[in-house]
Amino acid sequence: MADQKITELTAHTAGLSTDDLLVFVNDPSGTPETKGTTLANVVKWASYTPTLTATVTNPTIGNGALAGRYLQVGTIVFFQISWVFGSTSAAGDGSYSFALPVTAAASSGGSWFARLLDAGTRYYGLGAFLNSTTTIGFAQLDTSGAAVTHSSPITWATGDALAISGFYEAA
């Protein structure tokens, strides 16, 4: 077939699956070596609201914001989580964890870098890790390695924010 010229394409009328990969020829002129192509996976980012928990008392979002999104390609899950503390948010009590959008493989390991903003003051680098196949936790990247809690490394206040993005293998 490599030596045959395609002169006509018919419309694809069947439904697409998330495994379909579309190739668009965006430069129909020229030789096969100079034609421009674009690859587009039909899989799109999906929104989800991550569950935020603490070991003693769960935080409340109030007028803050908690959002997540993810993209699964095969068994690899890419994710982003953002939490902004509002004036009516409550920090709860204990070590924090967030629910993942898709259950992780027990062997996926997973460790990521997260950023914590103490509004108006400074940024903190955090390590994020799998607590289980369904949640991730956070630890301070300093000599203590202490968990991120309602009072450490900051006392949560309006405008403080935590952001993480990463990927892992799905179960």
**134, HSE (Cβ side, Cα atoms, 13 Å):** 3
What is the maximal distance between C-alpha atoms in the chain? Answer: 68
pLDDT in tens, 100-124: 999 999 877 777 999 999 998 999 9
pLDDT in tens, 17-52: 555 555 555 555 655 555 544 545 556 899 999 999
Report d(CA 104, CA 33) in Å as an integer. Answer: 42
pLDDT in tens, 56-101: 999 999 999 999 999 998 899 999 999 999 999 999 999 999 999 9
Residue 80: closest CA among 96, 63, 100: 100
**143, HSE (Cβ side, Cα atoms, 13 Å):** 0
Report d(CA 121, CA 82) in Å as an integer. Answer: 19
Look at phi and psi of residue 159 and say left if phi exceeds 0, alpha if psi is from -120 to 50, else beta. left
Instruction: Report yes or no: 85 and 158 within 8 Å, Cβ to Cβ.
Output: yes
Report d(CA 27, CA 169) in Å as an integer. Answer: 37
pLDDT in tens, 158-167: 999 999 999 9
